[in-house]
Structure 1
């Protein structure tokens, strides 16, 4: 129910809520999780036994060794197991997309924390002062994270470029790819927990958001919609009337009436439009409340989104825990089997 302005082109567009705004980023991050889960499934194959590329004449039990190492299965083709690096590119792609989302969010936090906007106050732990200006509080962590997104994108580009011209099977070029994988994953691994902490400790200035929610004629669209829904005008006509009223600098009844006569040759007063109706329609809380369809910012619609995404989060968290437990179990089994063989 925290009303705030939504933006297009960095200009006031329509009112929304802070929950709706943050859920937009949550949706993007949930897709990042989905991409990385899918990438994990393709990484989860054991190359052991592939040898140089043509496998080996020794009677290896590849399914057994794959299980010992915690893989779901052995790689089905020994040449592909040696030569392919699309799995690394896919992981870097997933982390790069994730970091791009993080960078966009950081950009918003940087803008929102400025004195010009004043929507958020970041915790001191994620900021620093200027080297010479003692009054400054700079959002350093958010800014560095924006740069890290560029670094991860660079690691992805480097990996693709290294692989693109290589024939089958192994080529020494591939040893240059591995550091890009480590650096890209490590940058994301460091950044995402910092972003989580920065959000968790941030103070959102909801009164300031509410004060800005109706500025810039951000509820003008709702007035046009009402002229369509309740007074039977075509949207093209309603859009023209409200747009002309905005150009005249007001959305009071007399201005809208004059705009209607100029733009469409009709009287909205004769249609039944009143000053009281306009006042209620232009209230940002009203503009948010009527947008109650699936995915909308109305509190009831947001509550549904929250419930669905909490369920998805629980499933993702359970998968991560199960996967981690399986890997730990496989490692323990590997140690026990090794000890048994040595004994």
Structure 2
């Protein structure tokens, strides 16, 4: 493997080199192949594109990708190095209506989702219909493009509330969101996507049930507690917990996530769901404390008093992935926070 000649803008070169190393067993399977990627300009997608560009540069892979985006021009203007990479073909449209490419592809990565990063800004009715229309169209295009192997990202939200007796949620847990509650629309929509994948037996589809993540490009203004805490601390404002701080979460570094997704695409049995995330639990309050310790922003504001409801958890069991692939959590929570904070601190400083 040739070392990267220079850092790839947007993602730390050390992260890309680590991803290339951890994915070494699968690069031969991707040499000269073409991917169809929806959601390629989001949080996950940006890291995936950076990884493809780095792998092509270091390994002469000749890996190409067709990337579906609602606004390719805006993204290419922001990420110039990716926008002008000859390995990438850009397709304007949503998951539900993008035109079928005029060339065959080998693999599909359906990373697109219909939800706003900002709490309460996505119409639940639109979300449900768009998810179903999107997966129907994506699978149809994949079929017409010659694709026989795909990875579709789902969510841990498909399980509904995690029972108090379960420290982590296994893929075999049969719980579900309450369909009578509007706030269940996201998890219910993801269940619909998984069901549609299950009834299409001509494409070997792997389901990646994604939980919570940290890393550069993480949205800092929306549904994600970790991102909100980082935003507050870097702005010199009190770190604000909108709940009571007792909820339990876990966070996988996005560099680890990319290693997991590529390995799941290539090397595990299809027609199966796999949890993707860290199984290292942490309370929301303890997470705020760690961000406080790393940034020096000492004030933590908790907006709700603790209630009597059962402790709310959102932590996956990842034994299935460990046993089948040998993958693990490669980056600790503390290091994930440090790397995310460092990246945002440097990015903020560079634009002042």
Is the TM value for this pair above 0.5?
no
Considering Cα pairs closer than 8 Å and 6+ residues apart, tell me whether 1 or 2 has the greater RCO.
1
TM-score w.r.t. the length of structure 1 is 0.22
More strand as a share of residues:
2
Q: Which one has the largest radius of gyration?
A: 1
